[in-house]
Amino acid sequence: MELEQVYEVKINWTGNLGEGTRDYAAYSRNYTISANNKIDIQASSDSIFRGDARLYNPEELFLASVSSCHMLWYLHLCADAGIVIESYTDNPVGQLSLQHIPAKFTKIVLNPVISIQQEENVELAHQLHNEAHKKCFIANSCNFQILVEPIIKVI
């Protein structure tokens, strides 16, 4: 296995409304995220920064990156441990402090709800969230608090 993995995307600003960035109100914050052989993502800034509220913004995409990295590690660890996951949903919440200059994330709380088959695996299913958090590349790249508050349901 390589000792380094390189990722590339293309960001293309699509918000020139005819006057470029003549002034702060003269342009759209919309852009497209693309990568080879993948579906494009239309995005914008948060609406509080004059973005299109119908599109994902960088803060939401960052939150999704933290959550999905954790989920993928968790599913991997559960599969290795013989825990059958039937469903996994998360509603992560991120706190962006606008008091800091520059603004920055200060906390993310992951709130995964997991359904498993075996009652005897509930404790291990909880413990594996700690392991997933330690292995998550994205979480390991962050310098703020990330909490995981899972709910494990037996179906």
Over the chain, what HEC string results? CCCCCCCCCEEEECCCCCCCCCCCCCCCCCEEEECCCCCCEEECCCHHHCCCCCCECHHHHHHHHHHHHHHHHHHHHHHHHCCCEEEEECCCEEEEECCCCCCEEEEEEECCEEEECCHHHHHHHHHHHHHHHHHCHHHHCCCCEEEECCEEEEC
- Write down the pTM of the prediction: 0.92
Residue 1 has pLDDT above 80, yes or no: no
Domain residue ranges of the chain, discontinuous segments joined by +: 10-49, 58-154
The CATH code of the domain at 58-154 is 3.30.300.20
Residue 100 — pLDDT band, cuts 50, 70, 90?
Answer: confident
Average pLDDT value for residue range 104-116 = 98
The Cβ of residue 63 has, within 10 Å, a number of other Cβ atoms equal to 20
Q: Which pLDDT tens digit goes with each residue over 112-132? A: 999 999 999 999 999 999 999
Q: Which pLDDT tens digit goes with each residue over 23-82? A: 999 999 999 999 999 999 999 999 999 999 999 999 999 999 999 999 999 999 999 999
